[in-house]
Amino acid sequence: MPMFCPECGNQLDDDMLFCPECGTKVELEYEKNSEAPILKGILFTHIPNLARKLSVSQQDITELLKSYIKLKAEQGVLYRLADTGVEQKGFFSKRSLDQNSPWYEYADILKQIHDEETRKREEPSTFLFIIGGDDIIPMPALPHYLGDKASDPDKKIDTDLLYAYPYGTKMNDAIRSGEIFFYDALFYVGRLPLATDAVYQDLAGYLQRAVENPVIEIDAGYGQCDPHWMKVTAKVTNRMSREQLFPSYKPLPKEILYGQLFLTPEVDHNIIGQVFNTNAQLFFFNLHGSAAKDTFYFLGQSTKNPEDWRIAVFPAAIAACKQPNVIVSEACYGARFIGFDKEHSMLLTAMSTNTLIYLGASRVAYGQPDPREANSPVLMNNADIVTGEFVNNMLDGLPAGAALFEAKRIMHQTSEIGPVESTTLVEFNLFGDPTLFIMNKKMNKASKPATNTNIGTLINPTTASCKLENVPIPIEEETKPMSLLAQVRAQVDANIAEIQSKINDQLYKEWGISPRKPISMSRTTSVSGQKGYEIQYNLDEHKSAPDGFYNLMSVSSDMNGKIRSVRITK
């Protein structure tokens, strides 16, 4: 049946958002059709602890969440409230969960809800919206895949991915071994974190904005990156460019603007106000981030002077954004929030102002460096794939939670999943309501909502499954070949030295990296059974990186020393 503008009567294409004659916004059929796809989910929180944190009554919190559930139902999202502060029935007693309860006891409640829906032959709830930070619903912290050689100071990775797999304590081992990637996920997960200095209005304000913007309308984007990754970032954000989301900027020096991406250090905190688009609704940052409390901003490093690090984006700039928006960041610690106040966290500042969806990493993140030669192909890996595909999936019509899960699935299809790749899969977390959509107003076209109640696995279950391994190799060990064991050890050391030499030769030829001693090396096995080496090098020869920032290169090779992939820390 043809569509017509309700204002001027002009005939419209089925997927137009606005009448081209008079500009009237068009209500799409799937928005008003009672048979439109229904999203089902769980609002997951601990009401007593949340009320205590925000200095309001439990009734205030309950009424606020029930109001949100009611309003979202009118938009086709059926949430149910799961309060982990209610006494849980056990075999021999009743007890309430608290901050000391392990994550899997919280997840047991999710599994009970899923099993109940299955028994009743209902459509399962597939969206999980966690309300509160780690002090309300614990964020699981698992041992780092790179072990003690990880550059992260606490050697752990914070992740909400485990809540997608509420199968009990065995998932602790499953995520460490990589076996979790072959399990069926039950939920698309998002979290609304609350700062140490959060107030009730931070929660109520976010929920109000989410109700007002179930589909975040986007007609302007903004991108900023470190110049070491400008070509890669241009490829990652190619869809935004093709869909005309970046403005057409006047010609600027190449040190300032690459295509439609602003570069730091030239665009630093002193002049960012001249170019930063506070009216944009989609922000993409490929910059350095830090774990240190007082380095709460993103940085860029000069390609000419390695000691020239400058502040690019900082919380106050994000707070100035005027429109409901989405932020996607590749930075190390780009989504840090546990134990921080709003002023010291980009994520917490964003979520307490106008940001509705935020994608970022909890730990050191990895991505592809730009090729050295102008005619060499531009590749992507790890954070580049996850963030880029997330944006693409949302522009294709997927809600945020599904968009992230599918982005991680695509990463497996294009990558060998070893320790670094596993780190990427678990450290990138979604913040905000996972049922929210985006829509590109510039194209005057609407993507049809798409969901799948059977989420499935991150990795195709027909793929050969092996246990992830990361066995450290001593970089330098004195050997005195006086015994047979010592002679064998010396031969092994010689083989390792040869591997390191081969890799150094390739790094110099392909990337211009001068030969250097690695800071760590390990033998690895990927989830598909490929064996090889993981070698990390320090690129910060002048020790110029500010406190908490890392400038490392991580190289994956086969057992003969042939490089498979090169990644740079963000």
Q: Is the pLDDT of residue 541 over 80?
A: no
* Residues whose CB falls within 8 Å of the CB of residue 259, separated by 6 or more in sequence, listed in order: 230, 234, 241
Domain at 467-569: CATH architecture: Roll (3.10)
What is the DSSP code string of 274-334?
A: GT--TT-SEEEEE-B---STT--SEEEE-SS-TT-EEEEE-HHHHHT--S-EEEEE-STTT
Least confident of 23-32, 472-481, 492-501, 528-537: 23-32
Q: Which of 15-29, 483-497, 555-569 has the highest mean pLDDT?
A: 555-569
Give the whole-angstrom CA distance, residue 198 versus residue 53: 8
Q: Which residue has the higher pLDDT, 486 or 157?
A: 157
Q: Which residue has the higher pLDDT, 479 or 141?
A: 141
Q: Tell me the two tokens of residue 521.
A: 């090396």
Contact predicate 370/230, CB 8 Å: yes
Q: Is the pLDDT of residue 15 over 70?
A: no
Q: Is the pLDDT of residue 240 over 60?
A: yes
Least confident of 274-278, 445-449, 564-568: 445-449
- Residue 302: what residue type? S
Least confident of 311-325, 368-382, 495-509, 534-548: 534-548
Q: Is the pLDDT of residue 210 over 60?
A: yes
Least confident of 159-173, 443-457, 525-539: 443-457
3-state secondary structure of 259: coil
3-state secondary structure of 361: strand
Range 519-528 average pLDDT: 92
Q: Is the pLDDT of residue 267 over 50?
A: yes
Q: Is the pLDDT of residue 319 over 50?
A: yes
Q: How confident is the model at residue 34 (pLDDT cuts 50, 70, 90)?
A: very low
The size of the chain, in residues, is 570
Q: State how beta strands 552-557 and 531-538 pair.
A: antiparallel
At 1 the pLDDT is: 46
At 373 the pLDDT is: 85
At 78 the pLDDT is: 96
Range 194-206 average pLDDT: 98
What CATH number is given for 213-443 in this structure? 3.40.50.1460
Q: Which residue has the higher pLDDT, 27 or 62?
A: 62
Contact predicate 517/501, CB 8 Å: no
At 86 the pLDDT is: 86
At 548 the pLDDT is: 76
Q: Is the pLDDT of residue 489 over 80?
A: no
Strand locations in 176-290 (E): 188-192, 215-218, 221-225, 257-258, 261-263, 282-286
Range 211-239 average pLDDT: 97
Range 55-84 average pLDDT: 97
Q: How confident is the model at residue 7 (pLDDT cuts 50, 70, 90)?
A: low
Cα–Cα distances (Å) from 183 to 43, 129, 187, 452, 457, in that order, read 23, 21, 12, 16, 5
Range 482-506 average pLDDT: 68
Q: Is the pLDDT of residue 318 over 90?
A: yes
Mean pLDDT of the chain: 88
Q: Is the pLDDT of residue 522 over 70?
A: yes
Q: Is the pLDDT of residue 31 over 50?
A: no
Q: Is the pLDDT of residue 440 over 70?
A: yes
Least confident of 25-34, 260-269, 461-470: 25-34
Q: Is the pLDDT of residue 168 over 60?
A: yes
Give me the residue spans of the domains in the chain: 1-33, 39-182, 213-443, 467-569
Range 136-163 average pLDDT: 87
Q: Which residue has the higher pLDDT, 443 or 175?
A: 175
Q: How confident is the model at residue 551 (pLDDT cuts 50, 70, 90)?
A: confident
**Phi, psi (rounded to 5 degrees) for 185:** -75, 145
Least confident of 132-136, 244-248, 358-362: 244-248
Range 555-564 average pLDDT: 94
pLDDT tens by residue, 70-127? 999 999 999 999 999 986 654 444 567 888 899 999 999 999 999 999 999 999 999 9
At 87 the pLDDT is: 63
Q: How confident is the model at residue 298 (pLDDT cuts 50, 70, 90)?
A: very high
Q: Is the pLDDT of residue 152 over 90?
A: no
At 282 the pLDDT is: 98
3-state secondary structure of 473: coil
At 537 the pLDDT is: 93
Contact predicate 524/532, CB 8 Å: yes
Q: How confident is the model at residue 316 (pLDDT cuts 50, 70, 90)?
A: very high
At 92 the pLDDT is: 42
